[in-house]
Amino acid sequence: MSSCVRSRKDRRMALDDVTKSIRGAMVPIHPEGRIFIAAFAIVAFILFLIWQPLGWLGAGLTIWCALFFRDPDRVTPLREGLVVSGADGVVCDVKAAVPPPELGLGAEPLPRVAVFMNVFDVHVNRAPVGGRVVRIAYTPGKFLNADLDKASEDNERNAIVIESPHGKVGAVQIAGLVARRIVCFVREQDQLGAGQRFGLIRFGSRVDHYLPVGAEPLVGVGQRTVAGETVIADLSRSGDARSFRKG
């Protein structure tokens, strides 16, 4: 093989490597976000025609919108009994709380883990456990700051209950101060795997996880979670609750 042919082959291989690297670095965008990204891009283009600095601001907001709707793959631990976080964000509350009545989980307090998502977090929500969806309930309401405790009761929300081999687990999508649209991808009687996508909340919100009686949360307030990956409880075991130190 001549040196010229080898050189062309080496360049093609190098170009392929660069292309693969770029594709690997790009995060998929959820289809729900395409129309919003397109709208932001059109507005940015118009702003460029009006005044360039405004156009650059619009371009920045378009990039933010694309990042908001990113939908990366996740690696979900599949051992039976594990409960994974349904949302990216920060744990804002861990305590026993009475679940919303529409979940049908009774009137007694259950262990609850609340995860707050800011406008920079991934907003695609994932099933905390594998099992059958036995209930979906949408409740209209207010749009208070989702970080507030009363948001669980007063805000617009969509709740699903999944029946797992270790009991029923509730996941409640709660709209926030900026959020105005909750999307649910599943129906009652659907079979979900742990970590499977079940919904999305647009622009800042919260997900509350209601665990079976006796479950001990394995996360603490202030801890960051990754949807579909961070283990928040283990229903196959009982034991003392964990303690945490921030530093």
CATH number of the domain located at residue range(s) 82-234 in this protein: 2.70.70
Residue 245, classified by CB atoms within 10 Å of its CB into exposed (0-12), middle (13-18) or buried (19+), is exposed
Does residue 7 have an active-site annotation? no
* Residue 119, pLDDT above cutoff 90: no
The one catalytic residue among 152, 205, 236, 243: 205
DSSP state of 107: S
Structure confidence at residue 131 as a pLDDT band (50, 70, 90): very high
In terms of Cα–Cα distance, which of 203, 25, 14, 17 is closest to 118?
A: 203
When pLDDT is averaged across residues 118-132 and rounded to a whole number, the result is 92
Quote the pLDDT of residue 10: 54
* Residue 27, pLDDT above cutoff 60: yes
Quote the pLDDT of residue 15: 54
Structure confidence at residue 223 as a pLDDT band (50, 70, 90): very high
- How many Cα atoms sit within 13 Å of 136 on the Cβ side? 14
Quote the pLDDT of residue 30: 80
**First-last CA distance in the chain:** 61
Between residues 25 and 79, the one the model is more confident about: 79
When pLDDT is averaged across residues 120-140 and rounded to a whole number, the result is 93
When pLDDT is averaged across residues 100-113 and rounded to a whole number, the result is 94
When pLDDT is averaged across residues 28-56 and rounded to a whole number, the result is 88
* Residue 194, pLDDT above cutoff 70: yes
Condensed to tens digits (0 to 9), the pLDDT of residues 146-193 reads 555 665 666 789 999 999 999 999 999 998 666 557 889 999 999 999
When pLDDT is averaged across residues 54-65 and rounded to a whole number, the result is 90
* Residue 21, pLDDT above cutoff 50: no
Quote the pLDDT of residue 87: 96
Share of the chain above pLDDT 70, in %: 77
CA distance 183 to 170: 16
Between residues 17 and 245, the one the model is more confident about: 245
